[in-house]
Amino acid sequence: MADTTPGFDTLQIHAGARPDPATGARQVPIYQTTAYVFRDADHAAALFNLQEVGYIYSRLTNPTVAALQERMAALEGGAGAVCCSSGHGAQIMALFPLMGPGLNVVASNRLYGGTVTQFSHTIRRFGWSAKFVDFDDLDAVEAAIDDNTRAVFCESIANPGGYITDLDAISAISDRAGVPLIVDNTTATPYLCRPIEHGATLVVHSLTKYLTGNGTVTGGAVIDSGKFDWSNGKFPAMSDPEPAYHGLKFHETFGPLAFTFNSIAIGLRDLGMTLNPQAAHYTLMGIETLSLRMERHCANAVKVADWLERDPRVAYVTYAGLPSSPYYPRMASICPKGASSLFTFALKDGYGACVKLIDSVNLFSHVANLGDTRSLIIHSASTTHRQLTEAQQIAAGAGPDVVRLSIGLEDADDIIADLAQALDTACG
């Protein structure tokens, strides 16, 4: 029997989007409302008891956000999704039902600097902790997992260096330990990589980046694979009676959607990391062209990275899409359509030259963001990774002599020309 599942390009346009039943509007409306009228008292009670699915209050659920959640689940191949106000919010939402005082997460040491700070300092206020490990050292990852570990966390393509994680090997380790693998898929997007197909339990995104694609709004998402056994004795929030819902057991009641319902009914209810409907609308529109944009992002990145690698003033380029990269062989299995457009390069003249380069570009925008249609540049060691020690910066691929690029959709020759004149100014 033929596979009737729509293709990616179809899903990115149609998943979650249906003509509005009241008006026939083809684009998903922005439901700019706080609350929703109940049919009667019994309807309201059923909603609050989680006996019926529907809309109560926009901190929890909103039709525009729900359309985005459905689209994200479809694109990632998940059972469900929950959207929230930012990528950082999504990371806390992913961990919240799993963790508790004294418990830990084993995390890659190649992560976005803000994530390293969040895991090093902020989560300690909840009594959680993180162990940072080189995820290329599989024995070290396995050794770091102990009886108090409740999650393994990495990025599919690491920010800022563009390193590709061996998700199949890492998920095998997390499976043996009986803990979920959480993968930040922001840099890759579901067009280039689908972590659930490589064993991930949860996938998180900063919707702010490639998914929206135009630098207009912030947002986050957690996609639930629906495949994890939450009743293995390690996750009482998912398997034990929930007092706030009269003893309801999320995993027993909702099965593959247990995590999704828990994140809405408890996570959004109590943490309040709500995505506003206008931001959801912008993101839905951005996703409609995701595959087209990612193809251009990747094509431009290959050209720019290759040019930089051949410049004698450049010490090295980290782009995994170059045959010289040690991560190039992983592209075939993890992200066969490309290695995204985020990477770094190091200047032989060091920190001072990096700063001068940043101040000399014209086409590039010097901003703390990535995944925009515009080409972006930043010196991570003095900005996004500033809170880290130099050793942590180097481990994360953001040393003092390193510049991070997010290659946009402009003409590749124009991007190269701007870097060439900036290098002339910075390095002579």
Which pLDDT does position 292 carry in this prediction? Answer: 98
Query: What is the mean predicted confidence (pLDDT) over 147-162?
Result: 95
Which pLDDT does position 2 carry in this prediction? Answer: 52
In which residue are the tokens 């998943």 written? Answer: 15
Whether pLDDT at 286 is above 60: yes
Please list the alpha-helical segments (H only) found in 209-249: 236-239
Whether pLDDT at 33 is above 50: yes
Q: 306-323: per-residue pLDDT in tens? A: 999 999 999 999 999 999
Query: What is the mean predicted confidence (pLDDT) over 396-425?
Result: 94
Gap between the Cα atoms of 225 and 94, Å rounded: 12
What are the domain boundaries of the chain? 8-286, 291-427
Place 22 in a pLDDT band, splitting at 50, 70 and 90.
Answer: confident
Q: What percent of the chain has pLDDT over 70?
A: 99
Q: Which amino acid is at 290?
A: L
For the record, the structure tokens of 245 come out as 């819902």
State the chain's mean pLDDT as an integer.
Answer: 95
Q: 348-386: per-residue pLDDT in tens? A: 999 899 999 999 999 999 998 999 999 999 998 887 777
CATH number of 8-286: 3.40.640.10
In terms of C-beta density within 10 A (0-12 exposed, 13-18 middle, 19 or more buried), how is residue 196 classed? buried
Place 160 in a pLDDT band, splitting at 50, 70 and 90.
Answer: confident
At 257 the three-state DSSP class reads helix
More confident residue, 21 or 76: 76
End-to-end CA distance of the chain: 64
Asked whether the beta carbons of 60 and 272 are under 8 A apart, the reply is: no
Is the pTM value of this prediction over 0.85? yes
Whether pLDDT at 1 is above 70: no
Whether pLDDT at 221 is above 60: yes
Task: Residue 427: name the closest of 312, 286, 335, 337 by CA.
Answer: 312
Q: What percent of the chain has pLDDT over 90?
A: 88
Bridge partner list, 183 = 154, 203
Task: Residue 113: name the closest of 390, 341, 398, 407 by CA.
Answer: 398
Helices (H) then strands (E): counts for the chain: 18, 12
Q: 116-141: per-residue pLDDT in tens? A: 999 999 999 999 999 999 999 999 99
Task: Residue 249: name the closest of 50, 39, 404 by CA.
Answer: 50
CATH number of 291-427: 3.90.1150.10
Whether pLDDT at 241 is above 90: yes
